[in-house]
Amino acid sequence: MIVAIDGPAGAGKSTISRMVAGRLGWTYLDTGAIYRTVTLLALEQGIGPADGEELGRLARHLEIGFKPGPGGSPRVFAGCREVTEEIRRQEVTANVSEVSAHREVREALLDKQRACTDVGNVIIDGRDIGTVVCPRAEVKIFLTASVPERGRRRRLELEEKGTLVTQERMEAEIAARDAYDSGREVAPLKQAEDAVLVDTTEMSIEEVVDRVAQIIEKKLVP
The pLDDT assigned to 74 comes to 82
The pLDDT assigned to 29 comes to 87
With a CB cutoff of 8 Å and minimum separation 6, the contacts of 65 are 76, 77, 79
Evaluate if residue 148 carries a pLDDT over 70.
yes
pLDDT digit string, tens, across residues 157-214: 889 988 899 999 999 999 998 998 898 888 889 999 999 999 999 999 999 999 999 9
Is 143 exposed, middle or buried (CB count within 10 Å of its CB: 0-12, 13-18, 19+)?
A: buried
pLDDT band at residue 27 under the 50/70/90 scheme: confident
At position 194, the amino acid (one-letter code) is D
Query: Which neighbouring-strand residues pair with 2?
Result: 122
pLDDT band at residue 73 under the 50/70/90 scheme: confident
Positive/negative CA dihedral, 69, 84, 199, 222: negative
Domains and CATH numbers, the chain: 1-26+120-222 (3.40.50.300), 31-119 (3.40.50.300)
Q: How far apart are CA 77 and CA 63, in angstroms?
A: 8
Sheet holding 75-78, edge to edge: 64-67, 75-78, 81-82
- Listed residue (143, 156, 151) closest to 177, CA to CA: 151
The pLDDT assigned to 222 comes to 67
The pLDDT assigned to 72 comes to 67
Mean pLDDT of the chain: 92
- Listed residue (193, 183, 147) closest to 167, CA to CA: 147
pLDDT band at residue 69 under the 50/70/90 scheme: confident
pTM of the predicted protein model: 0.82
